[in-house]
Structure 1
Amino acid sequence: MPDPTVWNVVRDAGDDTDIVLAADFPVTGRNEGGFTDLTPGLNLDCALWQTVAPVRSPEHDALDERYLQPWLSEVRASGRNVRAVLGYCAGSVFAGVLAEKIAARQDTAPHVIVFDPELVDVPTVHLQFGRVIGNMTTVLTPEETGELSDTAERLAAKPDVTPTAFAAGLHAAFRPIGTGALRRAGLDEDYAGELVSLVGSFMAYLATAAGLDPRPGWRRATVMTSASEHSGLNRMRTTPGIAPIEVAGERRFDVAHQDLLRTPAVAASVADVLAGPTGDTA
């Protein structure tokens, strides 16, 4: 089959091998490790594909299970068996849902392995938007940064605000400010527009994850947990209103959240899970 268009081939192993899928939203310059860091330590004999997030607007597009269809369609068209589905942070939501849908149409359920999984809520979106703004301090003025931060605080404080509405409001505020800042920094109109759309697509990614229920898939998952108290199961276990998260197994590592995917001991642990019978994540 032709190279996939909605998956990034992190490791190629020929068209007749199994595939491992990985859900994440990697961007150039982020300080967290990614699946490109993890993959060499897995010693895979099959391919690994990573999600390419669709271009979506949190203000205008429907953000529901239809978001997953391009990913699922391309996997189905490949005719290949999915050995495992991995997910990092908010990507763990997509991993859980994708794994359930794939398990329903192949003979054996794939492994599910998630890394500091997050149920996306308003604080999650707020935190991630803050990181986006923090990465743009070279182009945003202090006044622009302050305006965006104040807007985020105001929107987050609205009674009963949903993650979807919050993400849409953040992008609506960011779009003119970000465009102006990038143009001022010397980027042409098209490239500035692409970068602003990338931020919108990230907000849409988070908003979509907020509306999905990954917990059926997570019940079969092995969780790789960092030492960061505000990430993954560590955060969810101390957040009021979140019911206990059921997982098949958990392996804890004395590393920060941002280093989880680039720690050799984590890669060795994942390789150990993948070496077990397919569908067995204990």
Structure 2
Amino acid sequence: MTTPAAWNVLRSADRSELVLACDFSAAGRPIAGFADLTGLLTTECTLWETAPPPPEEAARMTGADQVARWAADVRAAAIPVRAVLGFCTGALYAGALAEEIAGRQPRPRLILLDPEPVRTQAMLGFYESLVGERFASVLSPAEAEEALHEARRLAGAYGPTELAHRFGTLLGGVVESAFARLGLPGGRVAEFTGLSLSYLYWLGAADACAMRGPWASATAVNGTTPGMGLDSFAPAERAGLVERAFHLDVSHADLMRSAETARLVDDLLSDDPLSREQGELTWTIPTPPGPTS
């Protein structure tokens, strides 16, 4: 099998089925990812994880473009897809990818871990962490305050897709000015901001991917962190969003490194489709009541 250009291969197996995982993985991220989960799974499968395009390409790509890029490698591999997994906002891409794959093979099972939509306040929180932590070494207090003030204004004025581009322009300008003040090479601005911009564009493009419809056949695996995953939806929004949900006593940050999560995902991957339709899966974790408001 040739190495896919748009995916990271987390596991290779002789078994002729693919499991696809949608997430934006970055080295050093404190929140566990699919690389952690893969190491705990016992199911024999080849597992690929989405790889983001370079920032200059991502800036021009819609959600459909992102999905088409990943789907092209899947088609070229000509291997049946057993399941598509998605973590956090990656669940939006997972649903869209499963829909695309279902057009040429039996629908793959869809497993979503702490699935949630793109929210502008979450994007603002990420931007604030960049200014206050990652880029604090090059920004003066005045530059940081100006960047934060403008970012908060933008977050109140635009939806996720446009906001990603506005944040990208703002961040690039702020860092470029700081580099000039410090006498650092301007050519390194893109290198310094590249991964962060890729993530912002990835989030912004995901907002165009539908939840209702693509998620209707999904199984959700939810942790206990307040406001994360299914808990980020109001009860009316959550009703009928996924086919079934399991709630584990694990935080959002540790959900993908939990042995309990791995056991459940193994069970879901090996679950016979007929048994799934008849509700015979052996896990019986109760769904706790949702928030009252």
State the TM-score bracket (shorter-chain normalisation): 0.7 to 0.9
For residue 274 of structure 1, what is the aligned residue in structure 2?
A: 269
1:6 aligned onto 2:3: no
| Aligned positions of 1:83-162 closer than 5 A | 83-106=82-105, 108-136=106-134, 137-158=136-157, 161-162=158-159
TM-score, normalised relative to structure 2: 0.84
Identity %: 33
**SS of the residue 1:149 aligns to:** helix
Q: Is the 8 A contact 1:11 1:47 kept in 2?
A: yes
Q: Which has the larger radius of gyration?
A: 2
Distance change in 2, residues 1:247/1:175 (3 Å): same
TM-score, normalised relative to structure 1: 0.87
Q: Is the 8 A contact 2:223 2:255 kept in 1?
A: yes
Distance change in 2, residues 1:163/1:36 (3 Å): same
Q: Which moved more, 1:229-238 or 1:172-181?
A: 172-181
What is the identity, as a one-letter code, of the residue corresponding to 1:244? A
Q: Is the 8 A contact 1:59 1:172 kept in 2?
A: no
Q: Which residue, out of 240, 246, 254, partners 2:249?
A: 254
What is the identity, as a one-letter code, of the residue corresponding to 2:249? D
- Cα distance in 1, alignment partners of residues 186 and 273 from structure 2: 49
- Cα distance in 2, alignment partners of residues 138 and 27 from structure 1: 20
- Cα distance in 2, alignment partners of residues 269 and 178 from structure 1: 44
For residue 288 of structure 2, what is the aligned residue in structure 1?
A: none
Q: Is the 8 A contact 1:179 1:193 kept in 2?
A: no
Q: Is the 8 A contact 1:151 1:170 kept in 2?
A: no
- Cα distance in 2, alignment partners of residues 75 and 250 from structure 1: 27
- Cα distance in 2, alignment partners of residues 199 and 183 from structure 1: 20
- Cα distance in 1, alignment partners of residues 247 and 37 from structure 2: 16
Give me the CA root mean square deviation. 2.6
| Aligned positions of 1:166-245 closer than 5 A | 166-179=163-176, 192-237=189-234, 242=237, 244-245=239-240
- Cα distance in 1, alignment partners of residues 24 and 184 from structure 2: 23
Q: Is the 8 A contact 1:58 1:207 kept in 2?
A: no
Structure 2 unaligned blocks of 5 or more: 280-293
- Cα distance in 2, alignment partners of residues 188 and 5 from structure 1: 31
What is the identity, as a one-letter code, of the residue corresponding to 2:128? G
Q: Which structure has more RCO (C-alpha within 8 Å, separation ≥ 6)?
A: 1
Distance change in 2, residues 1:44/1:184 (3 Å): farther
- Cα distance in 1, alignment partners of residues 184 and 73 from structure 2: 34
- Cα distance in 1, alignment partners of residues 183 and 48 from structure 2: 35
| Aligned positions of 1:9-28 closer than 5 A | 9-14=9-14, 17-28=16-27
- Cα distance in 1, alignment partners of residues 123 and 108 from structure 2: 29
1:77 aligned onto 2:72: no
Distance change in 2, residues 1:177/1:265 (3 Å): same
**SS of the residue 2:214 aligns to:** helix
Q: Is the 8 A contact 2:85 2:94 kept in 1?
A: yes
